[in-house]
Amino acid sequence: MNRGLRNTALALLVTALLGIMASRVYALSVGYNTSSTIWKATAYNTTTVDKTLYTNTRPAAGTGGVIVEITLLDNTEIASKLFPYYTGVSDLTAIIPSHEFMKIYVGPNMPGQNVQGDLHYGTY
Amino acid sequence: MKIYMLFALSLNYWKSHKRRLLTLAAVSIIGAAALCMVGLFLRSNKQIALEKERTILGDYDAIIYEINEQSLRYVSENSGVGAYGYYRELGYTGPDKNAGYKVVSFPDERSVSMYHMPCTKGHYPENADEIVMDLELVKKLGLFPVTGQTVSLTMYDTGGEEVFRKDYVLSGIIEAGSPITYRGYYRYPSIAGGYDVPAVIVSDEEAGRFGGKKITVYIQTDNDPVGVINEIRHNDPAEFNRVYYSNGRADTYFYILGIGNHFGDGFAINMENIRDALQTGRVWKDFYSAVAVPLFSALIFVIVILSVVSLIGNVLRDRADFIAVLRSLGMTKYRCATYMFIELLALFAVFVTVGIGAGTGLHLIIVEVIRNAYLPGFPSGLDVNEYIRAVTVSPYANAFAVMILSCVIAVLIPLLRMMRLTPIETFDPNRVRPGKRSSRRHISSKERLRKKLSWESIVADNIRFHDYSVVVIVCIIMAASFLGYNYFRALSDMDNNNYEFMLRTKGLDHWDYSMSRSEETENYTFVTENHHDYGIPYDEYVSFSEEDFISDTFARMVNRSTRLAYDGTVVLPEYLNLRDIYKTGDEIDEALCEAQEAMIQALGYDAGENIYALPTVGVMENDLELLQKYVTDGRIDAQKLSSGEEVLIVIPKEMEKDLAGIFHAGDELPLSDIVLSEAEDGYDFNYFLPDEYAEPVFKKSVPDQQSGQDIEIESFAFGRRKDIKTRVGAVIVLSDPELKSRYAVEYKSFMDGSAYRLSASDGGSLYTLTALCLPRAFISWGLPDNKFTEAYFKIGSDADISAANVKWYETFGDCKGIKYNSSYEIREKMNNDIRNVMLVCVLMIFTLITVGIMTAGIKFYSKVRSQATTIARLRALGMPAFGIEKIIIRQNMVYPVIGALFAILPVAACQMLFDYISKQIESGAWDVMFISGDVPWWITVPYYKDLFGYHPVLVLGILVLIVWLLILLATLPQIGYIKKQNIAQSVDSERY
């Protein structure tokens, strides 16, 4: 194969590999195992610009899925999303204003159900 | 008998020295009143925070939606339910039949109180002709948000059938949400199918007209709410499934008790743990109670000691002969000291108690003034619950303790000094104690000859009016006031962070009004956009933008679901790829990938096509002019952009390198969209359960490795591919953030952040590759986009804001699915919050200055009286009284200037601390993007604010003027004494 074709193939391969690896790039991860809504993470934006807080989870146990909520420190709910059991769903995001707190809550969609999994989150 | 005699002697003394008594009383009462008042206002502020939390969360633990009224008895009979309330689900109202603003009524006061959605203006309906509405609905109807006006509404039942039409009087307005809340409402529940939060409240008398039979019940319980609800469900034969465990009370008290600052210690947020924390004292005071009040108390403590010490010293000197006689008659110095101590302490106890009463009275008066001036619901600090008492300083105990302690110390110092003397020594209060140097400055004879002899120089050589303790007091009060003002301003700015954020995100930092399509229009998977009936109609926008009072405007139509489908010949960056599930080797991931592929093909795309996001934005023709100088290829042809024949490709600068060489003017673009049916366009994609609406296009059972059970993987397809014929008219590269916000789409708004994130220096590109056209192009393409999704307006500086408001509401009141934002409303809320914070600050400063200047006055008077004989001798020799007064005033006026210079130091020191914190964060030494465990102490400090940014020169100037004026007033007793001085008597007198 000629050099141009080889380089193109290599670039495609690297891009694909990066896509696979980077498709799940999160800053932090914390496990949960709960039957009620609990507060799992706190983010504080130390910068002078607004950032985006993103979070995702794929419940590993329990039925009905998991609700993830993002709130301000005074409990004003900013974003909420249902993450069904064992289905990949896109991130829940919220803008975290400059010098502001956000809290991330995790809880079962069906009350009383025990749900387990890992909560992934980060900012960009 | 002895005690009675001593009491009579004390009474006699104070009767003949009323002025001294009044001075002592004034210092004690004002000090106690200041401490008490500040403590009460802090409790008021905390109560405001508590009420705000209750409004956000509700004063209940769980809520059961839309059940039959018969089920109420199972709720009331359940022993686990501590209290309950309910409202009736009556129907709907709004600008039209499909408006969807829920109408409810409350049967009793308890239900209203527990639901806790107070009116920000007015009151709940008191008769059948009154109505309360949410602010959003008021605006939607084109009304100005004031109570008392007549509103004509059509009411619909829960099935959507018209029930009646009636004119109501708008008695109150509620704000059930804010511009940044999820789905627009504070209490939008996370349950399947969603829920329409109440937005209209009528009196319970009206309920019968609707015919509705359902109610929504909310309960308080100290047990596990899930267990209690399950028990109710078990007993009630009727089924109910729509339950939301809001945990409102626990979350509220968790926040108020400051436990949130110490997250990470395994604290589960429930009422049991909250009560336990309250009992064990595991609560934390905020900045005001933990820092501001103790600091303020310490300052009052010092100032009171300084003033009371010299006062008591004078009192003891007055009674020196009396004490000497008592001791000569055999009373021990301890008994003597005890008698004087008890007498003075009893006096202080009475004055402090009066002061606390005065502080309470003043607090109530100021609360009434605030309620009438700008905040009708401003709470008094007197009646607060145990949670607020736990995290605030007790106003009474603190005031009593600080004042009594300072008085005790102030009494003990001169008392112990006097008690050290023998009875004979006590008889002579003017004796100079051994070792004390004369205060007279020695002047050499040469200096005497050199100096020009004048009365002023003679007075200056013989009399010292300066008191260094006054310099200290003035420096303390001015430094505390200046630092306090700047710090509180910074703190109130920090508290207003959210409002600043609202202004920024709604574009209101530049514009006066903004409108945007509401967040109910969340995309379905694969970026499928619906609710094309939501938005701002083209004609209404054009009509309003042509009003005289509009000075600037901008609007755009955003379609996030358009996309490019390449057959593999063109490859764009992976972060634009709409296929967001990748194979990882895991069996479940493989199945998910297959499910996504099945959905993509069911929508009309091929397996071999690479599908990349390319949202489309339509703007007005005159808004294209700004882009002329950013064209890198091709030209802008408005006619072709309007017909859809061409689009502009907008590339954010940070993506330029990745997209180099891909787009050229004239290139055909494989653009397409996902178009939904009319029914699908009306779906609510939040908490969407697709299997209730369609059959899956993919279904597969996959075994779960961990549990061994089979998992059902499904996918659904809504809508169908529609190809769009267009080509590239021009390529534009933008770097200016303002331009990108207008002509590009935010990356995360369509990608939901699931794809690979750009690693630009600022953490990621905010804006993405976008196609730009004119609004008519969407119609040409056969797409349903025909309404602006965002619009912004700026009014002229001399425009009538009220008239503009009315016109704005009238014009856009009929628009569906949009949220209105006005910078005036947000700034009014900000100003209210700043006022609440600064009220406490102003009170502290005012009372501190008052107590301080009073102390200074006492010191001045004492000083002049202690030198009365010398002054009298000089006046007897011919010194004019005016000369002395001039010297006194000139000396006293220097103090505020010294104080002002000194006041800069603590502010500068505090700013240095702020700079240090900022530096540590910027350098990464303190990296706290994600917190686990205790919140760092400095996070609650407004370290990113500039303490010298609040008009320091002006503030310092005003402070100096105020202190000058007060010092002048405090000097009047000195001058009065000199004017009234009997020279002959003073010269002969050996005592004062």
Q: What is the pLDDT of residues A101-118, one digit of tens each?
A: 888 999 888 877 888 888
CA atoms of B148 and B42, how far apart (whole Å): 33
Mean confidence (pLDDT) of chain B: 85
Higher-pLDDT residue of B466 and B547 is B547
Higher-pLDDT residue of B38 and B805 is B38
Averaged pLDDT for residues B723-732? 96
Nearest to B495 by CA among B935, B835, B853: B835
Question: Among all residues of chain B, which has the CA nearest to that of A29?
Answer: B930
Chain A interface, best mutation among B501, B571, B700, B714, by max A CB count within 10 A: B501
Chain A interface, best mutation among B61, B223, B752, B826, by max A CB count within 10 A: B752
Token pair for B477: 């009060």
> Does B659 contact A at CB distance below 8 Å?
no
Question: Residue A19's pLDDT is what?
Answer: 38
Question: Residue B554's pLDDT is what?
Answer: 95
**Cβ-contact B757, B764 below 8 angstroms:** yes
Q: Do B930 and A121 lie within an 8 Å CB cutoff? A: yes
If pLDDT is split at 50, 70 and 90, which confidence band does B173 have? very high
Higher-pLDDT residue of B957 and B924 is B957
Q: Do A124 and B764 lie within an 8 Å CB cutoff? A: yes
Q: Could you tell me the maximum CA-CA distance found in chain B, to the nearest angstrom?
A: 118
Q: What is the pLDDT of residues B585-596, one digit of tens each?
A: 778 778 888 888
> Does B580 contact A at CB distance below 8 Å?
yes
> Does B921 contact A at CB distance below 8 Å?
yes
CA atoms of B971 and B810, how far apart (whole Å): 62
Question: Residue A20's pLDDT is what?
Answer: 35
> Does B754 contact A at CB distance below 8 Å?
yes
A-B contacts (CB, under 8 Å): 165
Chain B interface, best mutation among A25, A45, A46, A114, by max B CB count within 10 A: A46
If pLDDT is split at 50, 70 and 90, which confidence band does B396 have? very high
Nearest to B247 among A20, A37, A60 (CB): A37
**pTM reported for the whole predicted model:** 0.80
Q: Do A15 and B252 lie within an 8 Å CB cutoff? A: no
ipTM exceeding the 0.90 mark: no
Give the other-Cβ count within 10 Å of B357's Cβ.
15
CA atoms of A27 and B797, how far apart (whole Å): 47
Q: Cα distance from A36 to chain B (closest Cα, Å)? A: 9
DSSP 3-state of B693: coil
Averaged pLDDT for residues B2-9? 80
CA atoms of B612 and B609, how far apart (whole Å): 10
Task: Name residue, tokens 């050290």.
Answer: B420
Asked whether residue B435 carries a pLDDT value surpassing 60, the answer given is no
B754 contacts in chain A (CB < 8 Å): 23, 56, 90-91
> Does B287 contact A at CB distance below 8 Å?
no
Question: Residue B320's pLDDT is what?
Answer: 79
Q: Cα distance from B775 to chain A (closest Cα, Å)? A: 29
Token pair for B5: 């005699």
DSSP-assigned beta bridge partners for residue B728: B647
Question: Residue B110's pLDDT is what?
Answer: 96
Higher-pLDDT residue of B600 and B319 is B600
CA atoms of B302 and B348, how far apart (whole Å): 16
CA B467 to chain CA centroid, nearest Å: 43
B923 contacts in chain A (CB < 8 Å): none
Residues in chain B: 992
DSSP-assigned beta bridge partners for residue B131: B170, B202
Question: Among all residues of chain B, which has the CA nearest to that of A63?
Answer: B711
Q: Do A51 and B583 lie within an 8 Å CB cutoff? A: no
**Cβ-contact A65, B566 below 8 angstroms:** no
Question: Among all residues of chain A, which has the CA nearest to that of B56?
Answer: A76
Asked whether residue B275 carries a pLDDT value surpassing 70, the answer given is yes
CA atoms of B564 and B291, how far apart (whole Å): 59
**Cβ-contact A19, B571 below 8 angstroms:** no
Using CB atoms within 10 Å of the CB of residue B506, give its burial: 0 to 12 exposed, 13 to 18 middle, 19+ buried. Answer: buried
Using CB atoms within 10 Å of the CB of residue B160, give its burial: 0 to 12 exposed, 13 to 18 middle, 19+ buried. Answer: exposed
Q: Is B507 left (phi over 0), alpha (psi -120 to 50) or beta?
A: left
Question: Residue B890's pLDDT is what?
Answer: 81
Higher-pLDDT residue of A124 and B650 is B650
Question: Residue B668's pLDDT is what?
Answer: 94
Task: Name residue, tokens 């996370």.
Answer: B190
CA atoms of A123 and A94, how far apart (whole Å): 10
Nearest to A39 among B269, B583, B713 (CB): B269
Nearest to A93 among B583, B752, B756 (CB): B752
- The 8-class DSSP code of residue B292 comes to I
Q: Cα distance from A97 to chain B (closest Cα, Å)? A: 6
CA atoms of A61 and A64, how far apart (whole Å): 10
CA atoms of B316 and B405, how far apart (whole Å): 19
Chain A interface, best mutation among B757, B762, B918, B945, by max A CB count within 10 A: B757
- Portion of chain B with pLDDT greater than 90, in percent: 39
Higher-pLDDT residue of B820 and B392 is B392
Averaged pLDDT for residues B656-666? 92
Q: Encode burial over B371-405: b for 16+ CB neighbours within 10 A, e otherwise.
A: eeeeeeebbbbeebeebbebbbbebbebbbebbbe
Q: Do A76 and B180 lie within an 8 Å CB cutoff? A: yes
- Three-state SS across B116-134? CCCCCEECCCCCCCEEEEE
Q: Do B939 and A61 lie within an 8 Å CB cutoff? A: no
Question: A25-123 is classed in which CATH architecture?
Answer: Sandwich (2.60)
B711 contacts in chain A (CB < 8 Å): 85-86
Token pair for B171: 């008695």
Alpha-carbon separation of residue B934 from A71, B266, B928, B952 (angstroms):
18, 12, 11, 35
